[in-house]
Amino acid sequence: MVKIAIAGGTGNVAREILEPLLSKNKHKLVILTRTDPSPEAIVHPDITYVKVDYKDKASLTNALRGVHTVLSFVVVVLDPGSIAQKNLIDASIEAGVKRFAPSEWASPKVKEVPWYAEKETVREYLREVNREKKVLEYCLFQGGVFSNYLASPHKTAKHLVPVMLPFDFQNRRAIVLEGHNDIDGLTFTKVQDVANIVAEAVDYEGEWPLVGGIRGNYLTVGQILALGEKIRGKPFAVETITLEDIESGNVNTSWYPVLEHPSIPKEEIESFSKMALGGTLKGIAHAAYTVTSDEWNKLLPWYKFTDIEEFLSEAWAGKP
């Protein structure tokens, strides 16, 4: 049994991770949160909620005394300069934490995706603190895009908020880059699979890999469209734009994915969604959603990942 601290533990992805950790019935979980727990917070005898100020390293250090592993789900776009995560890393070292997982949970390439940029700041900080000697074992957990998002707006996980992609299965339509259907692709992993792998990684007795790729399924853009048409039973209306259009800010599509997410203020949803469409398509073109490492697949070879076609066929069964 070890004590695990989860920073940003009241968020939707973090709560998905909590489920398999709790099911093991052998870990104590400390949920670090900036605010008091909401009515939706998970209540369990093995969970303790601790209100923290991420600007106060001393209070963070006290909260992490006796903790073995820290999993961070700090929303990086809301942490300019990565102050919260840097302080969390410093506090982890001071408190004697053995393992740390920064707020990754997506893809290896972050420079091409504006809202992921701070992830590189944290990666460099972790490299720096271990430059002279290893003082903190860490792993970058990367699972690509959650397969669940292709079932949007339908909820296919207990806590994960559905997010709309440029591949809109609901309305049988898509927005893609001109000429990129067969050369660009994405790694899709069901959020429940990511959660299960993390739970197994906590118990893993060997040293964590620095880059922890989690590869569920890989599909090119063309394969995504073909799968959508097969599952939804009709051709998709496909709009195309060019990289030049994106670079010039000339993204004039007839629709765009509206990103309604708890981390995005309501008054910023429209502007962020329009920016995110160009950023997402540009990211796809630069393989920013392709997970190149499969370290956790290799370290846990017995784990069977969810097949995306089977999952989506079930998710969309009977839907108009």
Q: Where in the chain is the domain with CATH 3.40.50.720?
A: 3-138
Residue 263 pLDDT > 80: no
Nearest Cα neighbor of 296 from 176, 210, 169, 170 is 210
In the predicted model, what is the mean pLDDT of the chain? Answer: 94
pLDDT of res. 152: 97
Residue 203 pLDDT > 80: yes
pLDDT of res. 172: 98
Q: Where in the chain is the domain with CATH 3.90.25?
A: 145-188+217-289+301-316
Residue 264 pLDDT > 80: no
Rounded average pLDDT over 187-215 = 97
Q: For 139-160, write each residue's pLDDT tens digit.
A: 999 999 999 999 999 999 999 9
Q: Where would I find the H helices in the chain?
A: 12-23, 57-63, 83-95, 117-129, 191-203, 221-232, 243-248, 269-285, 295-299, 308-316
CATH of 145-188+217-289+301-316, picked from 3.40.462, 3.40.50, 3.90.25, 2.40.50, is 3.90.25
pLDDT of res. 31: 97
Who wins on pLDDT, 251 or 78?
Answer: 78
Residue 1 pLDDT > 90: no
As a whole number of angstroms, the distance between CA 17 and CA 13 comes to: 7
Nearest Cα neighbor of 76 from 85, 89, 88 is 85
Task: Please tell me the class of the 3-138 domain.
Answer: alpha beta
